[in-house]
């Protein structure tokens, strides 16, 4: 088992390889094609295996899936940003 930084680097690599990008304003990783959002805190709190499983599972809802659901108004604003391509990311 590596250090906390090693584990986060491995998780970040997994997300980037799967097409996720980091949103500094929302402290989350998002993928427009998969329509999934992972909060940084949720990524830190779970294992790499858990994250790989969530990334791999299909989103069949047609809606955005949030892992660590934000409050209703925050969620609506974030979804609007994602769908209009207005989010700042690396």
73 inside domain: yes
89 inside domain: no
What pLDDT is recorded for position 72? 64
Between CA 56 and CA 34 the distance in angstroms is 10
49 inside domain: yes
What pLDDT is recorded for position 90? 46
How many percent of the chain have pLDDT more than 70?
Answer: 84
Considering only CA atoms, which of 50, 78, 56 is closest in space to residue 66? 78
27 inside domain: yes
9 inside domain: yes
Residue 22 belongs to what domain range?
4-84
Considering only CA atoms, which of 28, 2, 47 is closest in space to residue 89? 28
Report pLDDT digits (tens) over 21-45: 998 988 899 999 999 999 998 999 9
Please tell me the total count of domains within the chain.
1
Rounded to whole angstroms, what are the CA distances from 2 to 11, 43, 75? 12, 16, 34
90 inside domain: no
CA dihedral over 33, 18, 53, 67, signed as positive or negative: negative
Residue 9 has pLDDT above 90, yes or no: no
Encoded tokens for 76: 């609506």
User: Within 13 A of 9's CA, how many CA atoms are on the CB side?
Assistant: 5
pTM for this one?
0.78
Residue 87 has pLDDT above 70, yes or no: no
pLDDT range class, residue 1, cuts 50, 70, 90? low
68 inside domain: yes
What pLDDT is recorded for position 37? 93
What pLDDT is recorded for position 34? 96
55 inside domain: yes
């Amino acid at each position: 088992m590596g250090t906390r930084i090693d584990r986060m680097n491995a998780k970040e690599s997994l997300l980037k390889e799967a097409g996720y990008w980091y949103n500094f304003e929302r402290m989350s990783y998002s993928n427009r094609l998969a329509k999934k959002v992972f909060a940084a805190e949720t990524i830190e709190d779970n294992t790499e295996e858990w994250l790989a499983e969530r990334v791999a599972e299909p989103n069949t809802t047609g809606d955005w899936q949030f892992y660590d659901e934000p409050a209703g108004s925050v969620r609506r604003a974030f979804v609007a940003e994602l769908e209009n391509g207005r989010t700042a990311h690396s």
